[in-house]
Amino acid sequence: MITSILNNREVSSALPPGTPVLDFVRYNQYLTGTKIGCREGDCGACTVLVGEVSTGELRYRTATSCLMPLGNAHGKHIVTIEGLNMAELNPIQQAMADESATQCGFCTPGFVVSMAGFCLSKKAPTSQNAIAAVDGNICRCTGYKSIKRAAARVAQLLADRREEAPVNFAANQAILPAYFSTIAERLQALSLNLNGERTNDNPAAQRVGGGTDVYVQKHDEIRDASIRFLFDTPDLNGIRQVGDQCLMGASTTVTDLIESPVMQAHFPDFNQYTTLISSTPIRNMATIGGNFINASPIGDFTVFFLALDATLTFRAGRTVRDLPLRDLYQGYKTLDKHPDELLEQIRFTLPDRNTRFNFEKVSKRTHLDIASVNSAMSITIEDDVITTVRLSAGGVAPIPKQLTKTAAYLTGKRLTEALILEATRIAQTEITPISDARGSETYKRLLLSQLIKAHFIKLFPELKAAQLLTV
Ligand SMILES: Cc1cc2nc3c(=O)[nH]c(=O)nc-3n(C[C@H](O)[C@H](O)[C@H](O)COP(=O)(O)OP(=O)(O)OC[C@H]3O[C@@H](n4cnc5c(N)ncnc54)[C@H](O)[C@@H]3O)c2cc1C
Ligand code: FES
Ligand code: FES
């Protein structure tokens, strides 16, 4: 049985744990306010809130319920639009109505749930953050101006929050229903009675992290599949620093990384990079392990961690093996990995004070879009000489690649404009892009050259880069 608190009541379900939460709430619980649009995580019509007690605190994140397995709801608080309703319109719904931010209304529950997620988050109550919270929601008829005005009004509701916990503030100020203030205690009581629904010893079981790739690719068969759920496995979670190493569990989500003090200290622009990657609800669900094992040639985190030369730890029973991420990919979606092996941990050296890091991505849309070409670079310079450089690129070969020849050319040299231009030429010899929906071969070649230049322009503003900007 999967047991959770759904809105204001505890529910247990004997449905297959692979059932999407969307189908559970609509067809089993008859909560039809949650809409079905794309079923691919793209439109946000199915957005729900997922609450759990994490490090002693009740925390809410949004999720696209079309891609979320019921198994990942076990022991959590799932909130649909019905669970946000109050006697009158709640202040978020009122803001949407006052700003004429709804017409057909199909997208509106998703927008309201995402804005409620913003109210329950620790993000600073600015209009900019409120608007960013709806980056995973698409509206086809109202137009975004009015929705942005409504979001700005929602941010104003939080102006006096100061140090109060977001959940308490939202419940006390009647922004959200009062029952929210009872949830932390109810979830803790529930956790004492949970049984091990998420364990599965079947070696052939489909592994599922956040489900954001599996549920798109295997939509028809996944519901009834034998699944091993990895998202909440304690051994696969957590980010910590040991000396100059960062160790993180394979089920670390993108949002976990954004909120990690270790990442914030060593990658000050990390939040900025991630705004280019998917959307808030997908980042809440997407795991780094899932990104690596999905093996997309344009996986953003694969490219990011290739430039950090990350090492992976795989486990099959008692057998543990380390493998550099750069050696994982052998051909298109072909991995140096036995089907039994579970990716357990990711390890990489944190940048020191001589090391600079940058990530770049170009895609057709800013949000919810995969890259045409992406690239990352980690470069260490001591006494004006490049001592180590790792450059990665996605979208330019059947696999995400480390550009080793280009890196070898740069190593041991002084940084000059001419050196960078020659590096872009060498990089062209290492790639084999193909023309597809994300751009022609020629365009992707040009993009990679430009992204390499962008790394240097951003990381070395002191370099007189006039030629790079024009060539
Ligand atoms: C709307 C949308 C937008 C997206 N945008 C982007 C984007 O901008 N950039 C990007 O890179 N990706 C994007 N993605 C793809 C996806 O979100 C990422 O690849 C994500 O990191 C996958 O993680 P997951 O936990 O959801 O993987 P899952 O779907 O759970 O799993 C993916 C694969 O990894 C395997 N797996 C997962 N964990 C382990 C483990 N610990 N050990 C062994 N195998 C494991 C699974 O069996 C499966 O084969 C997007 C997806 C959607 C739906
Ligand atoms: S139905 Fe479109 S994101 Fe879920
Ligand atoms: S109001 Fe119709 S899709 Fe947004």
- Tokens representing 94 are 């009122």
Q: What is the pLDDT of residue 195?
A: 62
**Binding site membership of 140 for ligand 3 (Cβ less than 6 Å):** yes
**Binding site membership of 139 for ligand 3 (Cβ less than 6 Å):** yes
In the reported structure, the alpha carbon of residue 87 is separated from the centroid of ligand 3 by a whole-number distance in angstroms of 24
Pocket test for ligand 3, best of 43, 107, 114 (most atoms within 8 A of CB): 107
In the reported structure, the alpha carbon of residue 65 is separated from the centroid of ligand 2 by a whole-number distance in angstroms of 7
Minimum-distance ligand to the CA of 371? Answer: 1
**Binding site membership of 100 for ligand 3 (Cβ less than 6 Å):** no
**Binding site membership of 137 for ligand 1 (Cβ less than 6 Å):** no
In the reported structure, the alpha carbon of residue 27 is separated from the centroid of ligand 2 by a whole-number distance in angstroms of 16
In the reported structure, the alpha carbon of residue 108 is separated from the centroid of ligand 3 by a whole-number distance in angstroms of 7
Does this model's pTM top 0.85? My answer is: yes
In the reported structure, the alpha carbon of residue 145 is separated from the centroid of ligand 3 by a whole-number distance in angstroms of 13
Nearest to 375 by CA among 312, 296, 453, 432: 453
Quote the CA–CA distance of 282 and 211 in Å, as a whole number: 10
Q: What is the pLDDT of residue 470?
A: 67
> Which atom of ligand 2 lies nearest, measured to the CA of 22?
4
Q: What is the pLDDT of residue 469?
A: 67
> Which atom of ligand 1 lies nearest, measured to the CA of 208?
30
Minimum-distance ligand to the CA of 44? Answer: 2
Quote the CA–CA distance of 235 and 351 in Å, as a whole number: 25
Q: What is the pLDDT of residue 203?
A: 81
Minimum-distance ligand to the CA of 147? Answer: 3
- Tokens representing 224 are 């009834």
Specify the CATH architecture of the domain 2-84+179-229. Answer: Roll (3.10)
Q: What is the pLDDT of residue 143?
A: 85
Per residue in 19-48, is it b (16+ CB within 10 Å) or e — as a string? bbbbbbbbeebebebbbbbebebbbbbbbb
Q: What are the backbone dihedrals phi and psi of residue 52, each rounded to the nearest 5 degrees, phi first?
A: -150, 155
- The yes-or-no answer to whether 2-84+179-229 and 91-176 have a common fold is no
In the reported structure, the alpha carbon of residue 74 is separated from the centroid of ligand 1 by a whole-number distance in angstroms of 20
Quote the CA–CA distance of 315 and 317 in Å, as a whole number: 6
The domain ranges of the chain are: 2-84+179-229, 91-176, 234-349, 355-469
In the reported structure, the alpha carbon of residue 111 is separated from the centroid of ligand 3 by a whole-number distance in angstroms of 10
Rounded average pLDDT per 10-residue block, the chain, 471 residues: 96 97 98 97 97 93 98 97 97 98 97 98 96 96 94 97 94 97 95 70 91 96 95 95 98 97 96 92 98 97 98 96 98 95 98 96 81 96 96 97 98 96 97 93 97 96 73 57
**Binding site membership of 107 for ligand 3 (Cβ less than 6 Å):** yes
**Binding site membership of 113 for ligand 2 (Cβ less than 6 Å):** no
Q: What is the pLDDT of residue 46?
A: 98
Task: Provide the CATH number for the domain formed by 91-176 in this structure.
Answer: 1.10.150.120
Q: What is the DSSP letter of 439?
A: B
Q: What is the pLDDT of residue 180?
A: 97
Minimum-distance ligand to the CA of 361? Answer: 1
Cross-strand partners of 347: 247, 311
Q: In the chain, what's the furthest Cα-to-Cα distance?
A: 69
- The CATH fold assigned to 355-469 is Enolase-like; domain 1 (3.30.390)
The alpha carbon of 392 is separated from its chain's Cα centroid by a whole number of angstroms, namely 20
Tell me the pLDDT tens digit for each residue of 14-34. Answer: 999 999 999 999 999 999 999
**Binding site membership of 230 for ligand 1 (Cβ less than 6 Å):** yes
Task: Provide the CATH number for the domain formed by 234-349 in this structure.
Answer: 3.30.465.10
Pocket test for ligand 2, best of 23, 26, 40 (most atoms within 8 A of CB): 40
**Binding site membership of 312 for ligand 3 (Cβ less than 6 Å):** no
Q: What is the DSSP letter of 163?
A: T
Q: What is the pLDDT of residue 54?
A: 86
Quote the CA–CA distance of 378 and 392 in Å, as a whole number: 9
Q: What is the pLDDT of residue 369?
A: 77
